[in-house]
Structure 1
Amino acid sequence: MKFTKLFCSILLFVSVVSIAQQKTFTLNEIWGGAFRTEGFQSLHSMKNGTQYSVLENDPISGATNIQVYDYETGEKAKTLVTSSSIDGLASFQGYTFSKDENRILLASELEQIYRRSSRGIYHIYDVPSNGVFKVHDKKIQSPLLSPDGNKIAYVLDNNIYVLNFATGQEIQLTDDGKKNEIINGITDWVYEEEFSFVRAFDWSADSNKIAFLRFDEREVPEFSMDVYGKDLYQKQDVFKYPKAGEKNSKVSLFVADIGAMALDEVKLGDYKDFYIPRIKWSANPDILSVQVMNRHQNNLDLIFVDAKTKAPKVVLNEKDEAYIDVTDNLTFLDDNSFIWTSEKDGFNHIYHYAATGELINQVTKGPWEVTQYYGYDTKNKKVFYQSVENGNINRDVYSIGLDGADKKRLSAKEGSNDAEFSADFSVYISYFSNATTPYEYSLNNGKTGKVIRELKNNNALTEKLKQYDVRPKEFSTIEINGETLNMWMIKPKDFDSSKKYPLFMYQYSGPGSQMVRNSWNRANDYWYMMLAQQGYIVACVDGRGTGLKGAKFKKATQNDLGNLEVQDQIAAAKQLGALDYIDASRIGIWGWSYGGFMSSNCLFKAPDTFKMAIAVAPVTSWRFYDTIYTERYLMTPQENPKGYDDNSPINFVDGLKGKFLLVHGSADDNVHVQNTMQLVEALVQANKDFDWAIYPDKNHGIYGGNTRLHLYNKMTHFIKNNL
């Protein structure tokens, strides 16, 4: 057995042991927010390059304020907007500037729809005049100011509207929108969830045209959920949800010319059963970029559409044996050349293409992944990005010339470094944390990375945690099935290698994910420390199929989800169980969503390795999940039935020997409670004993009020009683 140390974990708190320093973590504290970190809310770099704005709430008056601070001094320059001076607006939850920053869109009364979508009441604040007006009396979706700041487009009842501030005229661009039939300008459920965007329209650079997508979902099968509430009769939420192999929405592209009052459909070519995961106007107001993917998602065309002739031209094509990840990194430079990211050399890197689609050069290269693209400094011809060059559990900030020369690491500390650059890239706000350091925020020089001054820290949290028996993560690697896998482990205090400890494993394991990361604690990490305080060793291993180790490693699970990943978790459990200090008869595993799919499979397929498992909101058969996600990795059930059925927990309930806790929210619009109900029925018919819980009207996150506290109390008791 071979373990390689990646990061020698050091205790955040020193030293002298006293009773006061040995407090144990409690679930009430963890889920009551006792260990939350300080940060910035809605940070925006001002156009002048010398200031930034943030959203702050006045704890006394309850008013919401947009405050402007100087980069150079750190002092507050002014209060730009306060809700206390706006009639009928007690507070607001978000804000967006127009391009010239003369108008601000204020969002209030936001009502969540699905994971990323919401509707709300919006006001426009005019900075020069201090004037305010409401965009609409009804709650609208996805409003977007035009580049010149004189118009706003938004969606109401599945139709697109444009309001001209100068004339007061409101134009309705579409009139065929209807729930569960036609959607204009916003995405359907599956696009929102799997392509990670909601607003499906964009303004041209000259503010004269709007391109938008239309979704015809009439042939998409419906899914319904009972919403119980508190009334005598429950209600039903019915929405279109295409499960793997079923029909998707028919998507089409339109361009509206506001001045000419013209609306034209754009025919993109001879595509059948395709997706349009992104549209974006280029720097040229007459050139619209459109990304088109086939249903298998392994062929992507970047198309430029001439807005005058509506003629499409494919300027770039990407192919992959497995799948292509869609990103928001497409950036047009002043000459309409563009930045693009791709995995075509085996790792995610930055490329520079001419306006015609010819490759100018590959900007970044190496056996490591670019994890974020921050932007391009036109003046100095510098690209700014984040990558895992310094070890794939870390993140660092870099600059590099557009020609690929003069690369510089700007971040200095080992851990997770992120950046918010000023408009001119001269400075940036650095976000840093690692496993032993809570978030630190500083102003840094954009050329050298040197810290100019500290902006905010979490020293108060650091001091508070000195009272607790903090259990640090120990990072290492483990050799499993011919691969070197990243791992962390949390051990009990006064760990004694001559003793035997039960092992509780956590994982997610989904394609491209990463759970072993050198960053500050999330709520679950305090729970793991609490379990360690009670005598458990907690460990996490990122197996094959997880991310940031190259395309080959990530895509190893293609067409066979839940096979190699499960093999890796079982092998890791066995290898850890062979250690002198692990009790191999007391190994448990848990996970949420994809992790619940995994933990169920591990318990059912390796009953002699795992004593217990917890599965929260699990997929139990990929036949029940949506088209875009599932078919990206498995193709359709008609094409690959073996890939669907050979690894679905629902088909392996006969293997259950240990203790099993199954949890789901009844209003989970993402992984439907159908998954759990079908698994329950299979377990019952196999006469298997298990525990389960359904949280009424809770979605995939299972939260609200005391819900999370109740859930983690239940899971903690289950672990203590069965491991």
Structure 2
Amino acid sequence: MKRLHLAALLVASVASAAFAQKSLTDHDYAQAERWMGYNVRSLVHGTVSDITYLPDGRVFFRVAEDSGARYYIADPAKSSKELAFDHVKLAAALNTHMKNKVAADHLSLSAYKPEVAGFAFEMRGETWHCDTALTMCHVDPPAPEPVENPASQTTTTPQGKAKPAIAKVNLGTAPRGRRGHAPVNISPDKKLAAFIRDHNLWVRTIATGLEKQLTFDGIADYGYATDNAGWQHTDAAILTWSADSKMIATFQQDQRKTGMMYLVSTTNRHPTLEQWRYPLVGDEDVTKIEPVVIDVASAKVTRIKTEPLEHRSMECDDVSCDGDGRWNDVEFSADDAHLAFVATSRDHKDEWVRVADLATGAVREVYHEHVPTYYGWQSKIDWKYLPSSNELLWVSERSDYAQIYLYDLTTGKLKNVVTHGDGPVQDIPYVDEKARVVYFVATGKEKAQDPYLRNLYRVNFDGKGQTLLTSVGVDHAIDMAPDGKTFVDTASTVSMPQTYTLRDNAGKEIVALGKVDVSALVASGWKAPMLIDVKARDGKTSLYGFLYRPTNFDAAKKYPVVDYVYPGPQDGGCGGVHNFNAAHGDHQSLAELGFVVVCIDGQGNPHRSKSFHDAHASTPEEMGDDTIPDQVSGIKDLAKQFAWVDANNVGIWGHSGGGNATVSAMFHSPEFFKVGWAESGNHDNRDYEDDWDERWAGLEVKDAEGHSNYDKHANQNYADQLRGKLMLVHGTMDDNVPPSNSLLVADALMKANKDFDMIMVPNARHGYGEQTQYIMRRRWDYFVKNLMGATPPKEYKVKSYQDVIRAYYADR
């Protein structure tokens, strides 16, 4: 017995010594950090960006070459590609006027436009004009100061109401909207800028500075063109211009009964209170919009004769989806006589297509579709108004896949199915009404390839002649010309870098634009992530994703697993498409520290079938699933496929919806997930904006005892089930997911007498701004210490946020 006791002590001593020696160093962290995007960016050359179609069909674009940025023009008529200008001469011409000189290999220009004697472009917020020979360039003078329209100097509005005084405000210095929307909305002819002042809509003539008020009855919380989805709140004007720039479609937004959101800054002085209208799930009163159309010349406002619409969109959780300030669900007829629009029910189960007569405001209903769960989200464009042929293109998932259908615009009757085959339509980049052809992007229609890879097709209106226009086995990002005659095809895979090709609308190559060179990246030791194919919880459904291993991977070892999760349902956890990126966040860096990092698109994510998408949405109870059963089954499947995957030592992390899913995993599968890092999670969706979760889970319903159907997917209700190590992180000024979401979980954990960790990031929004790097380093430390059982280096200093920003713009 004594010998056994001594032997046991000896073994324990050796094990203890081995554990004590398992410490990571600054060098280990530096080796990991080298795979961050800001470090590998300089090893990738030939990236094409800023693709712009010129009026004559030529294509202007930028190439990040190893010697610096170069700008080119491709001419489809000549099948040629050549430099857009002499970069050295242009820099010299500009530097005769500039105090802060520009370098020929770092010109950063945009909005290139040919002119009769040369070309124009924008740089550093100014518009420049240069002659063809580049002997001289000049800059436009500053925009004129706003001036009052003499024609509008009356004491009353067209409606007979008192006219407020005109304030002199220079739009050039107005604050920008935070979410990418500029405060001004520029007309298609680039002559007018629409903006909001004192809750009303105005336009400014850009050339003269002349300003004109268009609406006069806007008041606080009942103003025009307001940009406020709760999580989004800017001073931008949301509206849709007619193609001829004569008419504006917008809305008067009623938030007078919408509840408030409050955030308080952290300071050693008096704090700043931020407050704005933010509707929540289950609120009796939420934001409504009342559509109007405005004739710009006369300032005549025509109210569309329909009930106030829900502040909803078919294609996103806002009324403006693309960051361009456009109201997405409206389209003018070519003659400006009619406006087609789609109304969406609060729970997104009903969509109504309506057409308004703009002379009277009278509305007729064309089509209505009801679905038992929620409508759409698979396709970027869900409908197309075709008044010239009296037809409507409509995307529906009634066959389990998003397909295009053709309807009669008068009767609302189905004429025929346009697209066919498994796999959803994802976008409609062009419709050729004259030739009666639809060009569409879809995934999953080619059986021999990854179902997330995108392809371009064409098909006739009658459903015949559906033709694949791009190659299989690679992902295709499509930039279609405005006239539909050509498109730029950006083709890549996870391991194959992008090639850029200008093609005609039959898919034939016209001219090669460029190819990304990653030879320096590969020479540095970079490895592409593995594509993985695992089974879902049912043991049958295939799930796809990525796996990252250390670059010094040893198949004889066992690696702890870190699962990066994002449950959607509005987007896939792994990005939805499988194209080339030199860095996917910090996944490779974290793997480099000695982990296997996985990302699995679970059931409930989009870009596949409707039934796949519905798997963890459509009710609050199902939303609480968060794809976690699929994450568990997928990782167990990986362990069966690869002996080096340690399915007994698994951690999980995510941001936003991924933060919510992380806590859900730690509470509902505590036997499987040992460590969780949850950032900015929407842990109780009754504490999040109404549109997002009411689409996916439906409306809140309470029983006679006051119990809510949303109780079952509120994380704080399961806090007593925590067994592992959990970190909660949230910004204190998060105006997307309010910080109270994480505080609710913290409160419940305290009441359950559970140990946990928490970081509240002072004054940070939904992302962490200047503290992004710090939070990333702390995340690495957390998994090294608690999942690997090692000691991280003391306060390793990652590259500063400012240096990261500088690295990103280094070649601009």
Q: Deviations over 1:581-603 (max 9, x none)?
A: 43343111111111111111111
Tell me: CA distance 1:59–1:222, structure 2 relative to 1, closer, same or farther (3 Å).
Answer: farther
One-letter amino acid matched to 1:500: K
Q: 1:201 aligns with which of 239, 246, 252?
A: 239
Contact 2:340 2:385 in 1 (8 A): no
Query: Match of 1:520?
Result: 580
Paired positions, count: 675
Please give the alpha-carbon distance, in whole angstroms, between the structure 1 residues aligned to 2:385 and 2:95.
39
Structure 1 vs Structure 2: percent identity of aligned residues? 23
Query: Match of 1:619?
Result: 682
Matched, 1:566 2:631: no
Shift of 1:438: 2.4
Query: Match of 2:537?
Result: 480
Shift of 1:635: 2.4
Matched, 1:134 2:196: no
Tell me: CA distance 1:96–1:171, structure 2 relative to 1, closer, same or farther (3 Å).
Answer: farther
Q: Deviations over 1:382-404 (max 9, x none)?
A: 32221112332211122222332
Query: Match of 2:414?
Result: 359
Q: 1:525-536 alignment to 2 at 5 Å?
A: 527-536=586-595
SS at match of 1:638: coil
Q: Deviations over 1:620-644 (max 9, x none)?
A: 1111111000111222333585542
Please give the alpha-carbon distance, in whole angstroms, between the structure 1 residues aligned to 2:197 and 2:85.
35
Query: Match of 1:321?
Result: 372
One-letter amino acid matched to 2:211: E
Tell me: CA distance 1:586–1:168, structure 2 relative to 1, closer, same or farther (3 Å).
Answer: closer
Contact 1:106 1:124 in 2 (8 A): yes
Q: 2:508 aligns with which of 432, 437, 450?
A: 450
* Deviating more after overlay: 278-287 vs 378-387: 378-387
Q: 2:259 aligns with which of 207, 221, 231?
A: 221
Please give the alpha-carbon distance, in whole angstroms, between the structure 2 residues aligned to 1:455 and 1:273.
45
Q: 2:33 aligns with which of 8, 27, 31?
A: 27
Tell me: CA distance 1:535–1:164, structure 2 relative to 1, closer, same or farther (3 Å).
Answer: closer
One-letter amino acid matched to 2:365: V
Query: Match of 2:567?
Result: 509
- The TM-score normalised by the length of structure 2 is 0.74
Contact 1:123 1:133 in 2 (8 A): no
Query: Match of 1:173?
Result: 214
Please give the alpha-carbon distance, in whole angstroms, between the structure 2 residues aligned to 1:596 and 1:712.
14
Query: Match of 2:196?
Result: 155
SS at match of 1:480: coil
Shift of 1:684: 2.1
One-letter amino acid matched to 2:489: S
Query: Match of 1:75?
Result: 82
Q: What CA RMSD, in Å, does the superposition of the two structures yield over aligned residues?
A: 4.0
Query: Match of 1:188?
Result: 228
Tell me: CA distance 1:23–1:215, structure 2 relative to 1, closer, same or farther (3 Å).
Answer: closer
Tell me: CA distance 1:630–1:397, structure 2 relative to 1, closer, same or farther (3 Å).
Answer: same
Q: 1:226-625 alignment to 2 at 5 Å?
A: 226-228=264-266, 232-246=269-283, 247-269=285-307, 275=312, 277=319, 278-325=329-376, 327-333=380-386, 334-335=388-389, 337-356=391-410, 357-378=412-433, 380-388=435-443, 389-390=445-446, 391-412=450-471, 414-447=473-506, 449-459=507-517, 461-470=518-527, 472-482=529-539, 483-492=541-550, 499-516=557-574, 517-521=577-581, 523-524=583-584, 527-557=586-616, 558-559=618-619, 560-563=622-625, 565-576=627-638, 580-625=643-688
* Deviating more after overlay: 257-266 vs 73-82: 73-82
SS at match of 1:162: strand
Contact 1:148 1:207 in 2 (8 A): yes
One-letter amino acid matched to 1:716: W
One-letter amino acid matched to 1:364: T
Q: Deviations over 1:647-689 (max 9, x none)?
A: 2221111111111121112221111111112212222222222
* Deviating more after overlay: 259-268 vs 236-245: 259-268
Please give the alpha-carbon distance, in whole angstroms, between the structure 2 residues aligned to 1:506 and 1:232.
39
Q: 1:14-53 alignment to 2 at 5 Å?
A: 25-27=31-33, 30=36, 32-35=38-41, 39-49=47-57, 51-53=58-60
* Deviating more after overlay: 649-658 vs 208-217: 208-217
* Deviating more after overlay: 22-31 vs 214-223: 22-31
Q: 1:712 aligns with which of 757, 776, 790?
A: 776
Query: Match of 1:9?
Result: none
- The TM-score normalised by the length of structure 1 is 0.83
Shift of 1:552: 1.3
Please give the alpha-carbon distance, in whole angstroms, between the structure 1 residues aligned to 2:457 and 2:485.
14
Contact 1:274 1:294 in 2 (8 A): no
SS at match of 2:769: coil
Please give the alpha-carbon distance, in whole angstroms, between the structure 2 residues aligned to 1:530 and 1:25.
8
Please give the alpha-carbon distance, in whole angstroms, between the structure 2 residues aligned to 1:164 and 1:272.
31
One-letter amino acid matched to 1:134: A
Query: Match of 1:646?
Result: 712
SS at match of 2:41: coil
Please give the alpha-carbon distance, in whole angstroms, between the structure 2 residues aligned to 1:567 and 1:58.
45
SS at match of 2:627: helix
Please give the alpha-carbon distance, in whole angstroms, between the structure 1 residues aligned to 2:49 and 2:548.
32
One-letter amino acid matched to 2:568: G
5+ residue gaps in structure 1?
A: 1-21, 110-121
Shift of 1:556: 2.5
Tell me: CA distance 1:142–1:337, structure 2 relative to 1, closer, same or farther (3 Å).
Answer: farther
Shift of 1:475: 2.3
Query: Match of 1:3?
Result: none
Please give the alpha-carbon distance, in whole angstroms, between the structure 2 residues aligned to 1:564 and 1:693.
23
One-letter amino acid matched to 1:252: E
Tell me: CA distance 1:146–1:87, structure 2 relative to 1, closer, same or farther (3 Å).
Answer: farther
Query: Match of 1:119?
Result: none
Please give the alpha-carbon distance, in whole angstroms, between the structure 1 residues aligned to 2:433 and 2:139.
33
5+ residue gaps in structure 2?
A: 1-27, 101-106, 133-137, 147-169, 176-181, 314-318, 320-328, 788-812
Shift of 1:410: 2.0
Shift of 1:149: 4.9
Contact 1:512 1:548 in 2 (8 A): no
Please give the alpha-carbon distance, in whole angstroms, between the structure 2 residues aligned to 1:328 and 1:97.
28
One-letter amino acid matched to 1:674: S
Please give the alpha-carbon distance, in whole angstroms, between the structure 1 residues aligned to 2:341 and 2:469.
34
Please give the alpha-carbon distance, in whole angstroms, between the structure 2 residues aligned to 1:42 and 1:463.
24
Contact 1:302 1:316 in 2 (8 A): yes
Contact 1:373 1:384 in 2 (8 A): yes
Please give the alpha-carbon distance, in whole angstroms, between the structure 1 residues aligned to 2:109 and 2:735.
24
Tell me: CA distance 1:499–1:131, structure 2 relative to 1, closer, same or farther (3 Å).
Answer: closer
Matched, 1:691 2:749: no
SS at match of 1:710: helix
Shift of 1:519: 1.7
Tell me: CA distance 1:167–1:26, structure 2 relative to 1, closer, same or farther (3 Å).
Answer: closer
Please give the alpha-carbon distance, in whole angstroms, between the structure 1 residues aligned to 2:527 and 2:391.
51
Q: Deviations over 1:229-252 (max 9, x none)?
A: 6x7333222111111112212311
Shift of 1:511: 1.0
One-letter amino acid matched to 1:172: Q
Contact 1:478 1:487 in 2 (8 A): no
Q: Deviations over 1:198-235 (max 9, x none)?
A: 65322234433222111121221111222336x73332
Contact 2:351 2:369 in 1 (8 A): yes
SS at match of 1:628: helix
Please give the alpha-carbon distance, in whole angstroms, between the structure 2 residues aligned to 1:337 and 1:107.
43
SS at match of 2:473: coil
